[in-house]
Structure 1
Amino acid sequence: MIRIIDKLFLFIYSIAIGIISVFIACIGFNWIQEDDLNDMVSELYGTDSLLITTVVVGFILLLLSLRFFIVSLKRSSSSAPSIDQRTDFGDIRISIETIENLALKAATKQRGVKDLKARIQASDTGLNIILRAVVDGESSIPSLTEEIQKAVKEHVEEIAGIPVTNVAVYIANVIQTGTNKSRVE
């Protein structure tokens, strides 16, 4: 939403600066005579409503200038969060979303896992992967979570080349499997 508002402000600001630039160019090319310019300035100072409008427009343009100055100094947050590595050949950037997908891919291969969500936290020592899972309840939860942890750690480290310090598995629920036997009478 803020980006849309900034784009609207930039559009308005560009039009205002464009109009001011054309006016200044007209003065420079002497297309507006000195007498006409003096009349405009006299009318501006003679009418309170025009004077107030000029002050408001100037203040708005100043605020927009400050806003765009601050935005230009901020580091762009539009790029997706990533993990950066430097090699002999250059820089490597792997998005957090890629690591999440790798973790989910490894975890879904385990039997008994029905629904998964992943969250990745990067630290100086490595990755901290948090998985939220729904299981079918057919197998032992401690052994299943251990298999998930091992598979995710090995898969992410092998594919991404980034050390995984911790894989936390949170079992959110156990779902009922559709193995209800129907009664025959």
Structure 2
Amino acid sequence: MVKIMDRLLLFIFSLAVIAASFIAALVGLRVFPLNDVSRFIDDIYEWPVLSIIIVAASAIILLMGLRMLYISLRRASGQSPSISQRTEFGDIQISVDTVENLSLKAASRIRGVKDLKSRIRVTDAGLEIVIRSFVDGETSIPNLSEEIQRAVKSHVEEITGIPVALVSVYVANVTQPQTQTFKSRVE
């Protein structure tokens, strides 16, 4: 929900900056007659309601700008996303990278699997893990996929204590067997 609000604020902020830049460019290019610009500035000083509206709009744009600045600096801190758990002794944080490595370790133990990659998504139901792999083509892909799913789910749950809601296996391709070249030896 916070990400959606931040995106909406960024969109509105961008529109406001674009509009202000466009108006400033038109004034700079002298598209508006000097009398109209002077009259508008005089109206701001004469009508308190117009002055309040401009101050309120400026304050809102300033707050949105500060929020966007905060978000950009916060993400640049270098902290990787983590999963928090509370125990009776305190809090535990496990990085998503750790869960990725655990899932890769479990999947790599399965015979017939090569070039593994893992992607983790944290949901309310638990972890959703996607394993991308190449297979050797010698083993049944459905059986191999089920074996990977079981191994990854049990290993990650056992090590981290975090429930795994879903393990998806994406078989990207079949690896070609390494052909060995034999040199004949003449005696």
User: What interval of TM-score do these two structures reach, taking the shorter chain for normalisation?
Assistant: 0.5 to 0.7
Amino acid at match of 2:114: K
- 1 CA distance for matches of 2:73 and 2:128? 25
Shift of 1:69: 5.0
Shift of 1:138: 1.2
1:27-176 pair list within 5 angstroms: 69-70=66-67, 71-72=69-70, 76-77=74-75, 78=77, 79-176=79-176
More off after superposition, 155-164 vs 66-75: 66-75
- Secondary structure of the equivalent of 1:76? helix
- Secondary structure of the equivalent of 1:162? coil
> CA-to-partner distance for each residue in 1:35-58, whole Å, 9 max, x for gaps?
xxxxxxxxxxxxxxxxxxxxxxxx
- Secondary structure of the equivalent of 2:74? coil
- Secondary structure of the equivalent of 1:138? coil
> CA-to-partner distance for each residue in 1:65-108, whole Å, 9 max, x for gaps?
98995435778233211111111111111111100000000000
Give the 3 Å change call, closer, same or farther, for CA 93–178 of structure 1 in structure 2.
same
Q: Which runs of 5+ in 1 are unaligned?
A: 1-64
- Secondary structure of the equivalent of 2:166? strand
Shift of 1:178: 2.2
Name segments (4+ residues, structure 1) moved above 2 Å.
65-78, 178-182
Amino acid at match of 1:149: Q
- 2 CA distance for matches of 1:73 and 1:104? 32
- 1 CA distance for matches of 2:170 and 2:180? 27
TM-score (norm 1): 0.58
More off after superposition, 89-98 vs 172-181: 172-181
- 1 CA distance for matches of 2:128 and 2:70? 33
TM-score (norm 2): 0.57
Shift of 1:146: 0.6
- 2 CA distance for matches of 1:100 and 1:72? 29
- 1 CA distance for matches of 2:71 and 2:97? 27
Identity %: 57
**How many residue pairs align between the two structures?**
120
Mark the structure with the bigger radius of gyration: 1
> CA-to-partner distance for each residue in 1:114-164, whole Å, 9 max, x for gaps?
111100010111000001100111111111111000000000000010000
